[in-house]
Structure 1
Amino acid sequence: MKTIRRLIYVEVLRAVAFVSLGFLCLFFFFDFVDELQAISRQRVFGYGVPQALLYVSLLVPSHLYELLPITVLIGTIFVMARFAQSSEYTILRTSGLGPWRALRTLLMLGLGFVLLTFAVGDYLAPASDRAAQLLKTRYQGAWAMTGNTGAWLREKQGEMSYAVNVASMERDGTLKNVRIFAFDGRGFVASQTTSLLARIGDGRWTLYGVEQETYDTADANQAHVERSTQPELQWPSTLTNDMVSVALLRPDRMSTIDLFEYTRHLDANGQTTQRYAIEFWRKVFYPLSCLVMVVLALPFAYLHFRQSGITSYVFGGVMIGISFFLLNNVFGYIGNLREWWPWLTAAAPGMIYSVLSLGAFGWLVLRR
């Protein structure tokens, strides 16, 4: 059995590596084409072809994380179908490779892909994304923003609550265009503070170029607004640099630990956590989809098509992989809108395809 396992593992790893390389080259080309406009706009700032090539190269781990379950499915289907076409799998069956032993063999291989997907998505991809953003910062001057309004954070201090808006972050951690809205215990706006620059220290923010408006609404008949400007202002806050940088990132680009801690921070401050909770559970369940894919590919080894090619079966594997990717995204959007349980929203696509794969295994392998 050791020789049989080595044969299957080597062939599947080789096929998955080849398919992954093909997809990554395709995405690399698309990303580079998108960067051609940035090259033409920022050539005067030193952003040229070498910098664009380095930038799109740093995006490769993120694409690899997204593609791994699909490439595992396509590569495994190709190997299993080729074994069936050449009658190699028939020989393996006569050598003692029964259905359950074959399933166990592929599940062990799938477990390796699960660990690889988790490592790439939780360590390599976030680090490379941050490096890509820092590279862009050298030539654009600011870190990526979350939408057109920047990142929003919230904090409570006694009866007062604060809504903080940060437009962008420099590569040295300096915050740009900061707005702080203070609310009193009644929920009314007490003050608005705007700052051109800010730096985060231990337990406080240092604001530079401050304009502050204080709203006195205690007496409705004598309500008034006081305006003041200060070159520098110290604002006590528990918001750290890591929290701001996490808020500026897209949720799908965060690591699992960052998502968990940021979700707890949002929940502690009374903010909605649905979007980030769904992304957290997707980070947990997404690597496990590799197990589903290898189980889904096993029935292809029991098909009989000695005279026909395997192109149609590989194409079917591509369609199944694309449908899984689309279903995963659709469930995320619907779960966010309908406020479904985050863990169920993230696990539903894998559960559906698990039922399909086990059903195909039972029908094609065990019953036939």
Structure 2
Amino acid sequence: MKLITRYLIRQLSVMTVYALLAFLALYSFFDIINEVGDLGKGSYNGAKMMQYVLMQMPAHAYDLMPLAVLIGGLIALSQLASGSEITVMKTSGMSTKKLIAVLLRFGLIFAVATAALGEWLAPSLSQSAENMKATATSGRISTGAQGLWLKEQNNIINVREMLPDHTLLGVKVWRHNEAFQLAEAVEAESATLNPDNSWQLKNVRRSLLDGEAVRTETQAEQNWPVRLQRGLLDVLLVKPEQMSVSELTTYIGHLKNNRQQTKLYEIAWWRKLMYPVAALVMALVALAFTPQNTRRGNMGLKLFGGICLGLAFHFAGRLFGFTGQLYGIPPFIAAVLPTMLFAVLGVYLIRRQEKR
């Protein structure tokens, strides 16, 4: 039985890797088409474009892993069914429960791979890719027309741009008192980050509000003991779905400490935790859509149905995230519900298949 288990896992894994590589090739082709328009901007040439596309592959692999598990599992199990190998395995004593256990072991392999990609490889490479492209096209990292906005204790901070070496340009700070009245406005030409997380402001202009009077001061340099963590600015330059669980935890804590909305990031946090489980669920769904009797001629139809279901799952997570944010659904439910629904569907279809 161990030999059969290893054989099944090998067949399933090989087809899943093939499916993942096919998806990555397709997504890379779309990335290249999307990036062609930026060629020639600054020093962004063909070599850097290919480097950017390659660095985005781990993020695509993370997104596509459950879909690859489903399609790879469907193809492998359908091939085994068409050759009557599954029938022979069941005849030799492999029950449906044992087959499910093998599929869960297969799914667990890719669940671990998904977790590793989402926590370590994909976030760092995606962030490096965006920074590399921004540096090549414009020589600076920009977060939009209004720059980057932060809130820390009684300070509202705006940073216009951030250079690749973490030098901040166009720093503005508005400090309010406990009554939420403006008490001070600070404008600095640039700032550098010190090892102790403080900011070294340069060419500083301060406006102090004292009753009805405004007092203005200028300084060449000023050390500002801000409490923001050094890596927090890097976290803010990427989308929530591109962050790791640890980065999301850090940023959610910062938002809560400053009494700001956290729902978008909490949904992303729960999705990060649940997404590897989707690989296990897709392995079960693959079994549910595997034709048991190939003589009925429904193999192609079932394969098509399974692939459509996988695509539906791929986009359902994003849809539930937007819906949860729009209608105030708790982040845990918005993130977990798609995976749970597909898990229930897979178990139901397998039980229905066994009763026939």
Which TM-score band (shorter chain)? over 0.9
**Residues 81 and 313 in structure 1, CA contact (< 8 A), matched pair in contact too:** no
- With 112-121 and 248-257 compared, the bigger mean Cα shift is at 248-257
Deviation at 1:168, TM superposition (A): 3.1
Q: In structure 1, what is the equivalent of residue 220 of structure 2?
A: 231
Q: In structure 2, what is the equivalent of residue 28 of structure 1?
A: 28
Structure 2 residues not aligned, in runs of 5+: none
Matches within 5 A, 1:121-140: 121-139=118-136, 140=138
Matching residue within 158, 161, 169 for 2:162: 169
- With 231-240 and 182-191 compared, the bigger mean Cα shift is at 231-240
Distance in 2, matches of 1:322 and 1:214, equals 57
Listed one character per residue, the Cα deviations across residues 167-194 of structure 1 (whole Å, up to 9, x for unaligned) are 3322211112222111111011222222
- With 352-361 and 239-248 compared, the bigger mean Cα shift is at 239-248
Matches within 5 A, 1:291-310: 291-306=280-295, 308=297, 310=299
Matching residue within 200, 204, 207 for 2:201: 207
**Residues 206 and 235 in structure 1, CA contact (< 8 A), matched pair in contact too:** yes
Name the SS of the counterpart of 1:59 in structure 2: helix
Distance in 1, matches of 2:112 and 2:106, equals 10
Distance in 2, matches of 1:29 and 1:14, equals 23
**Residues 267 and 335 in structure 2, CA contact (< 8 A), matched pair in contact too:** yes
Q: 1:287 to 1:167 in 2, by over 3 A?
A: farther
Q: In structure 2, what is the equivalent of residue 336 of structure 1?
A: 325
**Residues 142 and 160 in structure 2, CA contact (< 8 A), matched pair in contact too:** no
Listed one character per residue, the Cα deviations across residues 113-135 of structure 1 (whole Å, up to 9, x for unaligned) are 11000001111101211321332
Name the SS of the counterpart of 2:290 in structure 1: helix
Q: 1:277 to 1:328 in 2, by over 3 A?
A: same
Name the SS of the counterpart of 2:259 in structure 1: coil
Deviation at 1:227, TM superposition (A): 4.0
Q: In structure 1, what is the equivalent of residue 67 of structure 2?
A: 70
**Residues 200 and 240 in structure 1, CA contact (< 8 A), matched pair in contact too:** no
Deviation at 1:258, TM superposition (A): 0.9
Letter in 1 for 2:178: G
- With 190-199 and 2-11 compared, the bigger mean Cα shift is at 190-199
Distance in 2, matches of 1:92 and 1:144, equals 59
Matches within 5 A, 1:87-106: 87-106=84-103
- With 131-140 and 258-267 compared, the bigger mean Cα shift is at 131-140
Q: 1:144 to 1:2 in 2, by over 3 A?
A: farther
**Residues 204 and 237 in structure 1, CA contact (< 8 A), matched pair in contact too:** yes
**Residues 152 and 228 in structure 2, CA contact (< 8 A), matched pair in contact too:** yes
- With 65-74 and 90-99 compared, the bigger mean Cα shift is at 90-99
Deviation at 1:27, TM superposition (A): 0.9
**Residues 302 and 364 in structure 1, CA contact (< 8 A), matched pair in contact too:** no
Distance in 1, matches of 2:113 and 2:163, equals 32
Name the SS of the counterpart of 1:362 in structure 2: helix
Distance in 2, matches of 1:271 and 1:347, equals 24
Percent sequence identity over matched residues? Answer: 32
Q: In structure 1, what is the equivalent of residue 186 of structure 2?
A: 193
In the superposition, the TM-score normalised over structure 1's length comes to: 0.91
Distance in 2, matches of 1:291 and 1:103, equals 10
Listed one character per residue, the Cα deviations across residues 192-249 of structure 1 (whole Å, up to 9, x for unaligned) are 2222311122142111233333334x3xxxx244444433222121112211111222
Letter in 2 for 1:361: I
**Residues 188 and 204 in structure 2, CA contact (< 8 A), matched pair in contact too:** yes
Distance in 2, matches of 1:89 and 1:311, equals 18
Question: How many pairs align?
Answer: 354
Matched, 1:85 2:62: no
Q: 1:167 to 1:364 in 2, by over 3 A?
A: farther
Name the SS of the counterpart of 1:306 in structure 2: helix
